[in-house]
Amino acid sequence: MQIDLYTVKDELANKEQLEVFVANHKQGNFFQSPIFFDFIKKVRGYSPFQLVAREEGKVVGSLLGVFQSNGGNVKSWFSRRLIVWGGPLLAGTNETQDELALKALLRALKQAAGGKAIFTEFRNFFDMKAYQKTFATEGFEFRPHLNFLVRTEEEKTVRKRVSNSRLRQIKSSLKLGATVEDASCEREVRAFYDILENLYRAKVKKPLPGIELFVNFYKTPSICKFFIIKYKDEVVGGILCPIFKNKVIYEWYVCGKDGVIKGLHPSVLATWAPIEYGFRNGYEYFDFMGAGKPDERYGVREFKARFGGEEVGFGRFYMVMNRSLYHFGRMAMKVYQKIS
pLDDT tens-digit profile of 188-213?
999 999 999 999 999 998 889 999 99
pLDDT at 206: 85
pLDDT at 214 over 50: yes
Are residues 49 and 66 located together in one domain of the fold?
yes
When pLDDT is cut at 50, 70 and 90, the band that residue 78 belongs to is: low
User: What's the chain's average pLDDT?
Assistant: 92
Integer Cα distance of 208 and 8 in angstroms: 22
Q: Which amino acid is at 67?
A: F
pLDDT at 336: 47
pLDDT at 331 over 90: no
pLDDT at 74: 52
Burial class, 258, CB count within 10 angstroms (exposed 0-12 / middle 13-18 / buried 19+) = middle
Are residues 34 and 108 located together in one domain of the fold?
yes
Integer Cα distance of 192 and 126 in angstroms: 30
Q: What is the mean pLDDT of residues 290-310?
A: 95
pLDDT at 130 over 60: yes
The 3 state secondary structure assigned to 48-109 is EEEEEEEECCEEEEEEEEEEECCCCHHHHHHCCEEEEECCCEECCCCHHHHHHHHHHHHHHH
105 Rama class: left (phi>0) / alpha (psi -120 to 50) / beta: alpha
Are residues 196 and 240 located together in one domain of the fold?
yes
Q: What is the pLDDT of residues 131-159, one digit of tens each?
A: 999 999 999 999 999 999 999 989 999 99
Domain count of the chain?
Answer: 2
Are residues 9 and 140 located together in one domain of the fold?
yes
Nearest CA to 122 out of 137, 104, 135, 108 is that of: 135
Contact 101, 53 (CB under 8 A): yes
Integer Cα distance of 94 and 97 in angstroms: 5
Q: What is the pLDDT of residues 228-256, one digit of tens each?
A: 999 999 999 999 999 999 899 999 999 99
pLDDT at 115: 85
Q: Which amino acid is at 307?
A: F
Q: Which residues lie closer than 8 Å to 12 by C-beta, 6 or more apart? A: 6, 18, 34, 37, 50
Are residues 321 and 307 located together in one domain of the fold?
no
Are residues 114 and 237 located together in one domain of the fold?
no
Are residues 95 and 178 located together in one domain of the fold?
no
pLDDT at 339 over 90: no
When pLDDT is cut at 50, 70 and 90, the band that residue 269 belongs to is: very high
Are residues 166 and 152 located together in one domain of the fold?
yes
CB half-sphere exposure, 222, CA atoms < 13 A: 3
Q: Lowest mean pLDDT: which of 73-77, 161-165, 227-231? A: 73-77
Are residues 218 and 296 located together in one domain of the fold?
yes
Are residues 323 and 197 located together in one domain of the fold?
no
Report the CATH number that the domain containing residue 164 is assigned in CATH: 3.40.630.30
pLDDT at 335: 47
Are residues 133 and 211 located together in one domain of the fold?
no
Are residues 154 and 276 located together in one domain of the fold?
yes
Q: Which domain holds residue 46?
A: 2-145+314-339
